[in-house]
């Protein structure tokens, strides 16, 4: 069975002196995507795919406590090639070959990926994973509303995990494609995203056959590295390519409706929040679907999460705050 691990105290994986890399013999792994070769921003089944070259550093946000060493190292690199070298070094220092980072949400009880950071994933795996919609049957993905300890796994674990109504053929194709990508074992974890209904999925992957090499020390270092990357992507960079061409032409009302949609609110809840009729909400929803060129609510919600950072206030809330200040 897949193993959930309780994390023991560990050193910051971003600081000097990474833990010793695993010494278990393993096949020669294909390198992560080489610096500077990430493709242009693409959409795959409504999933926005980006890489290091799309990131634009922003002014550091206020942080309580010391900044992790890996975050500091990433901030110090002026180019995406430099950041790629830093991250690849951090991933391999723990003993892994690749790392995947994604955001997702549960819509109607089904996992719906929203974004995927592909710079350090196995070559070709992202295309197969999303094209075949393997996230629908991946036993590592969380159930709705659950956040768990880091999960240590290997291919044998995935083959033995019950998958309900999933056909044996589809499971076999998933495992075969995973092996074709060179992936044999790893660590999988998920984190909530404050301010909306999304969560983060972080996957460390290795070409080593068995998970026996992944002990508590490795799990701790992987968790520290994953959290550092998460902080860097959510607090220290922006991805203008996501929103640039769609941001123009939206009214404050439409932006606020998108923000409510990103938080998982229904049309009735949006109407109540925005103090407008349900018919008005429906009208704006149709206009927004046309604006973004999407066909349904799920795809529109995906676009909505890319236009407003988590926790950003709605214009209607800003107006209420302003009224409160004037009244005071």
Residue 288 pLDDT exceeds 50: yes
Specify the pLDDT at position 303: 66
CATH class of 242-327: mainly alpha
What is the C-alpha to C-alpha distance for residues 78 and 299, in angstroms, rounded to an integer?
34
- Here the tokens at position 309 are 């950072």
Domain ranges of the chain: 3-238, 242-327
CATH class of 3-238: alpha beta
* Banded model confidence at residue 246, pLDDT cuts 50, 70, 90: low
Contact 219, 187 (CB under 8 A): yes
Residue 229 pLDDT exceeds 80: yes
Q: What is the pLDDT of residues 107-142, one digit of tens each?
A: 777 888 888 999 999 999 999 999 999 998 999 988
Specify the pLDDT at position 34: 39
Sign of CA dihedral 121, 188, 183, 205: positive
Specify the pLDDT at position 114: 84
As a residue count, the chain comes to 328
Q: What is the pLDDT of residues 305-319, one digit of tens each?
A: 655 544 444 554 444
Arithmetic mean of pLDDT, 228-245 = 78
Specify the pLDDT at position 243: 54
Tell me the C-alpha to C-alpha distance, in Å, between residue 124 and each of 30, 53, 149.
11, 18, 28
pTM of the shown model: 0.68
Residue 30 pLDDT exceeds 70: no
Residue 228 pLDDT exceeds 50: yes
Instruction: Decide: helix, strand or coil at residue 237.
Output: strand
Smallest CA-to-CA distance from 193 within 63, 264, 103, 71 is with: 103
């Amino acid at each position: 069975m897949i193993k959930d691990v309780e994390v023991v105290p560990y050193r910051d994986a971003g600081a000097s002196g990474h833990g010793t890399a695993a010494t278990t013999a393993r096949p020669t792994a294909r390198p992560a995507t080489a610096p500077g070769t990430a493709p242009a921003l693409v959409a795959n089944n409504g999933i926005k795919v980006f890489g290091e070259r799309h990131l634009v550093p922003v002014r550091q946000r206020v942080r309580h406590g010391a900044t992790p060493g890996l975050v500091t190292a990433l901030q110090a690199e002026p180019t995406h090639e430099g950041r790629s070298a830093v991250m690849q070094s951090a991933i391999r220092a723990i003993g892994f070959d690749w790392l995947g980072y994604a955001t997702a949400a549960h819509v109607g009880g089904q996992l719906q990926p929203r974004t995927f950071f592909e710079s350090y994933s196995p070559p070709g795996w992202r295309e197969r994973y999303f094209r075949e919609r393997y996230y629908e049957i991946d036993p590592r993905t969380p159930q709705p509303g659950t956040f768990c300890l880091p999960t240590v796994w290997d291919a044998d674990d995935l083959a033995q995990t019950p998958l309900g109504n999933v056909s044996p053929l589809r499971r076999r194709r998933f495992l075969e494609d995973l092996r074709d990508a060179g992936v044999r074992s790893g660590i999988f974890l998920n984190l909530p995203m404050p301010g909306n209904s999304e969560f983060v999925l972080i996957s460390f992957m290795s070409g080593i056959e068995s998970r026996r090499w992944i002990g508590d020390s490795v799990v701790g270092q992987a968790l520290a590295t994953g959290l550092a990357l998460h902080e860097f992507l959510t607090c220290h960079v922006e991805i203008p390519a996501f929103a640039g061409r769609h941001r123009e032409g939206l009214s404050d009302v439409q932006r606020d409706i998108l923000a409510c949609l990103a938080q998982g609110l229904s049309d009735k809840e949006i109407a109540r929040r925005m103090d407008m009729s349900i018919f008005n909400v429906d009208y704006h929803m149709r206009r927004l679907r046309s604006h973004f060129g999407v066909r349904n609510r799920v795809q529109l919600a995906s676009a909505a999460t890319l236009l407003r950072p988590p926790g950003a206030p709605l214009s209607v809330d800003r107006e209420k705050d302003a009224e409160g200040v004037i009244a005071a």
